[in-house]
Amino acid sequence: MHKASTFRWMRTLLCNEAYSIWLFTRSDLKTIVLPQSIFGVLGAQSGSGLIVPPDRYKHDRLHRAPLVLLWVWIVLLPFAIDNQRRPEAIEEDKANKPWRPLPSKRLSPRHAFWLMLASHIAGVIYSLCAGGLRQKLIGIALGWIYNELGGADRSCIGKNVVNALGYVTFSTGAISVAVPGTFTIRGYEWFLLTGLMVLTTVQMQDLPDMEGDAARARNTVPLVIGSGPCRWSIAILVPFWTLLVIGFWWTFSLPAVLGAIIAAFVSWRVLNRRTVRDDKLTFRIWNLWIITIYAMPLANGSI
C-alpha cells in the first residue's frame, strides 16, 4: 500500500512538472516551434538547394522531422523560462498570462531557475546527439543578451536584431538536425534574406503588448516611433519582402500565391484592425505568412 501511494505521488509530481514545462512554451508553439520546424524540414529537402547532404541522406529526410520538432522546442524552453522568471515578467504575466507557471504559483522562481539550467544541459546533450550544437550554443548567448543584458528593453533596434538572429539560429539549427551537411551559398543568402525579413517586421509582436511594455519602460518599435508609423512599416514591408522572395526563388507556385494573399491580408489588418485582440490575431497571421515564405525554396522549380 505504501509503495502504491509513493508511485501515485511520483506520477502526480512528474505530470505536474511536465505540464508546467509545457506551459512555459505554450504561447510559442504557433509562433516559434511550428514555423521553425517547418523551415528545417522543408529546407532540408533535396529541391531546396540550401544544403549539400552526405550521400546517406540524399533521399528520405522526412523521417527526422520529429527530431527537428524536439530540437526547436528543447532549445526554446530554457530561453522561455529565463524570460518569464524575472519579477517584472511575473507581474506582467499576472495581468496578461495568469495561467503561466510563475504567476499562477505552480512553480517558484528558484524552481524555475534550476529547471532552466537542467533544460540547458538537456538541450546541449540532445544537440550533441541529433545535431545543431553550434546553434544551441549561439542560442544560449542570444538568450543571455536578451534577458540578462536587457536586450529586450533598452533598444527597439537591439531587440529586433536579437529576435532576427534568434530566428536565423533556429532556422539553421533545424535544417542541421533534419540533415547534416554543408550549407550552400544560396543557403546563406536565404538565411540572410529571412533574417532581414524578420528584423524589419517582427515588431508586429509588440503591438498587442504596448501597455505592458510601457509599464516596464521597454523601448519597442511602436513605443519609440508610435503605433501609426509602426503599423505602416509592417503594412509596407510585408508585401515588399514577399515580392522580393518570389523574385529570389523565381517562383509563381502555390506558396508564392498564398504568401502574397496572406501578406496583403496582414497589411490590411494591421492598418484597419487595431484592438489588442485584433493585433494578437494579426500576429498569428504574420506567423502563417512566415510559414508560406519558408515553403518557397521547395517551389523554385528545382523539384
Task: Tell me the pLDDT tens digit for each residue of 57-113.
Answer: 655 567 888 999 999 999 999 999 998 988 888 887 887 788 899 998 888 899 999
| Confidence bin at 13 (pLDDT 50/70/90) | confident
How far apart CA 40 and CA 295 sit, in angstroms, is: 10
| Confidence bin at 1 (pLDDT 50/70/90) | very low
pTM of the model: 0.88
pLDDT in tens, 160-183: 999 999 999 999 999 999 888 889
Tell whether 10 is covered by a domain.
no
- Domain that includes residue 37, residue range: 16-299
Q: Measured at the alpha carbon of residue 39, what is the angle toward residues 28 and 142, in degrees to the nearest 5?
A: 55
Tell whether 4 is covered by a domain.
no
Tell whether 11 is covered by a domain.
no
List the single range of 129-138, 144-153, 205-214 with lowest mean pLDDT.
144-153
Closest Cα to residue 133, out of 125, 143, 144? 125
Tell whether 8 is covered by a domain.
no
Tell whether 247 is covered by a domain.
yes
Closest Cα to residue 173, out of 128, 111, 217? 128
Over 50: is that where the pLDDT of 302 sits? no
pLDDT score at 252: 81
Tell whether 186 is covered by a domain.
yes
**Average of pLDDT values for 124-153?**
89
Tell whether 147 is covered by a domain.
yes
Backbone angles phi, psi at 51, to 5 degrees: -145, 145
State the total domains in the chain.
1
Over 90: is that where the pLDDT of 288 sits? yes
Tell whether 277 is covered by a domain.
yes
pLDDT score at 301: 47
